[in-house]
């Protein structure tokens, strides 16, 4: 009947079902894998969380040009360096 045997029909149904469930499984795996980093990012974006490292102002040494912390700067060793140490 119409050149379609029961075996071919069954094979087609099995192939379509395998592709459908394979696609569903793959998208579920990607959601599980992509879900964890998103949760971490949301945690990091929380405004109440304190910053891990505080920013420090830097100033350029007038002698060598190296940037040193404005507070607690130490001498670079060259003569004329205004910082102690
Ligand atoms: Zn210097």
Question: Do 60 and 25 share a structural domain?
Answer: no
Span 49-73, pLDDT tens digits? 677 888 889 988 888 888 888 888 8
Question: Do 1 and 32 share a structural domain?
Answer: yes
Would you mind telling me the total number of residues written for the chain in this entry? Answer: 85
CA of 56 to the centre of ligand 1 (A): 18
Give the phi and the psi of residue 67 in degrees, each rounded to 5. Answer: -90, 130
Question: Do 31 and 72 share a structural domain?
Answer: no
Give the phi and the psi of residue 59 in degrees, each rounded to 5. Answer: -130, 150
d(CA 21, CA 18): 5
Six-digit token string for 25: 């499984």
Question: Do 59 and 26 share a structural domain?
Answer: no
pLDDT at 70: 87
CA of 57 to the centre of ligand 1 (A): 16
* Number of separate domains in the chain: 2
CA of 54 to the centre of ligand 1 (A): 24
Per-residue confidence at 81, pLDDT binned at 50, 70, 90? confident
Domain of 73 in residue numbering reads as: 54-85
Span 27-52, pLDDT tens digits? 999 999 886 555 555 555 666 767 78
Those residues whose beta carbon sits under 5 angstroms from the ion ligand 1 are 61, 63-64, 76, 81
pTM to 2 decimal places: 0.35
């Amino acid at each position: 009947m119409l050149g379609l045997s029961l075996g071919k029909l069954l094979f087609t149904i099995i192939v379509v079902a395998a592709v459908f469930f394979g696609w569903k499984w793959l998208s579920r795996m990607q959601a599980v894998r992509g879900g964890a980093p998103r949760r971490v990012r949301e945690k990091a974006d929380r405004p109440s969380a304190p910053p891990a490292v505080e920013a420090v102002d830097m100033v350029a040494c007038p002698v060598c040009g190296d940037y040193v912390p404005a507070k607690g700067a130490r001498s670079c060793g060259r003569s004329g360096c205004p910082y102690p140490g």
